Amino acid sequence: MSRRRWRPATLLAGLLVLALSAVLLPPASVASTATAGAPHTRAVPLTELTVVSEQVASGLRRPIALTGLPDGRMLIAEKNGTVRAYHPDTGLAAAPVLDLSARIDTSDNERGLLGITPAPNFARTGILYVAYTSLPAGTLTLARVPISAPDRVQVLLTQEHAEYGNHNGGQVAFGRDGYLYWSLGDGGHANDPFKSGQNLGTLLGKIVRIDVNRTCGAKSYCVPSDNPFIRTRGARPEIWLYGLRNPWRFSVDPADGSLWIGDVGQGLVEEINHIRPWQGGANLGWSCREGTPVFDPEQCRSGGRYTDPVFEYEHFMTESCSVTGGVVYRGSATPEARGTYVASDYCSTLAFAVRPKPTGGYESATIGNFPIQPTAIDADVHGELYVLSDLPGWLSRVRFERVQPASGGGAATR
User: Residue 26 has what pLDDT?
Assistant: 36
Parse the chain into domains and list their residue ranges. Answer: 60-339
Q: Is the pLDDT of residue 36 over 70?
A: no
Q: Per residue in 280-334, pLDDT tens?
A: 999 999 999 999 999 999 999 999 999 999 999 999 999 999 999 999 999 999 9
- Label residues 292-331 b or e (16+ Cβ within 10 Å = b): eeebbeebbeeeeeebebbbbbebeeeebebbbbbbbbbb
221-240 mean pLDDT: 98
Averaged pLDDT of the chain: 90
Strands annotated E in 221-310: 239-242, 249-252, 259-263, 269-275
Q: What pLDDT does residue 391 have?
A: 96
Contact predicate 127/154, CB 8 Å: no
- Look up the pTM and report it: 0.89
Distances (CA, A) of 274 to 22, 191, 307: 36, 24, 9
Query: Domain 60-339 adopts which CATH fold?
Result: Neuraminidase (2.120.10)
**Tens digit of pLDDT for each residue in 146-195?**
999 999 999 999 999 999 999 999 999 999 999 999 999 999 999 999 99
Band (pLDDT 50/70/90 cuts) for residue 361 is very high
pLDDT average, residue stretch 10-36: 36
Would the pLDDT of 18 be above 60? Answer: no
Q: What is d(CA 180, CA 127) in angstroms, rounded to the nearest whole number?
A: 13
Q: List pLDDT tens digits, range 62-83.
A: 999 999 999 999 999 999 999 9
**What is the structure's pLDDT at 172?**
98
Rg (the chain; Cα; Å): 22
Q: 97-146 pLDDT, tens per residue? A: 999 999 999 999 999 999 999 999 999 999 999 999 999 999 999 999 99
Q: For the ranges 12-16, 263-267, 279-283, 295-299, which has the lowest average pLDDT?
A: 12-16
Q: Which residue has the higher pLDDT, 371 or 12?
A: 371
How many Cβ atoms from other residues are within 10 Å of residue 408's Cβ? 5
- pLDDT class for 43, splitting at 50, 70, 90? confident
Structure-model confidence comparison of residues 189 and 3, the more confident one? 189
Do 240 and 209 meet the contact criterion of CB atoms below 8 Å apart? yes
